[in-house]
Structure 1
């Protein structure tokens, strides 16, 4: 059974060891965050990427791929479900999966277990579907939730400024601000990556 168009992201799973909340003011901040996180990821890492439509999951994954130094362009695997991006030098490949249009049985048919050990596996819309199937009951994974901060949220926080200029702004060019919530699960992620925890 595939996810309905109006379904939002699933709620976070219980049992996380820690949660980091980070504001990402623009595309450059999102890119920096993805590069820092990429430096902390090793082969066998499962990253479940969550967020509503348009929250920036694919944009984040493109920057993560740059940080991992994988070859070729990274685009959304919505219609093919899974793409493998090879590492340019030594290190893990990137397996990028979009679970939006499938279910646990469909994901099982991708045989992600065969690539997990040698790759960083990023699964969009996978929360609650993939964690235990791929890493087992006592396994480890990261959960990253991206959330766009709407203009209404920003204006209510900033005193309700009235907008009279509708031309393209610097903010439009740099992208919508986001909030990132990174959670660690299992024995490999007992504490946040040092590079992000400070």
Structure 2
């Protein structure tokens, strides 16, 4: 069982996925999670694991081009609503998506600062990916014909922090 606040180093993408499975098994309808981290940090990998832990129909993919994607549950549990708020500019636009927050588990990537007035509490999940970790330069073990840097992002360690957030009116 995960207790909050929670902080850990996650060594691989598989470990991030497994953390998501563990977290997903604890979530219930009405739970809201906000994921923050740079591109490639593992937000969608964590969400795939959460979907597996919840028992939803997949595959869970990034909703970048559709803004929100609903994954029905294959058992009697709640659906997973996966939101990419990167292109949204305000809480009003998030609210306009008409998401069933009470009847679903909702994950909002890039949603920090957009939930005041929409939700009373949520799990704030921040994933830090070290800058430059995993980079191999052309002169460090690559073929002579290649001049581009290669990043093996799947095996970079990440730092993940999970905290319960309460709106000031409810704190």
Q: Report the TM range for the smaller structure's normalisation.
A: 0.7 to 0.9
Structure 1 residue runs without a partner (length 5+)? 1-17, 155-162, 188-198
Q: Name the counterpart of 1:133.
A: 117
Aligned residues of 2:5 and 2:161 also touching (Cα < 8 A): yes
Bigger strand fraction: 2
| Count of aligned positions | 153
Picking from 91, 96, 111, the partner of 1:109 is: 96
State the partner residue of 1:186. 166
Matched, 1:145 2:104: no
> C-alpha separation between the residues in 2 aligned to 1:164 and 1:77?
36
Secondary structure class of the residue paired with 1:133: coil
Q: Which residue pairs with 2:147 in the alignment? A: none
Q: What residue number does 2:51 align with?
A: 65
| Unaligned ranges ≥5, structure 2 | 144-150
- 1:24 corresponds in structure 2 to 10
- Point out which structure has higher relative CO (alpha carbons under 8 A, 6+ apart): 1
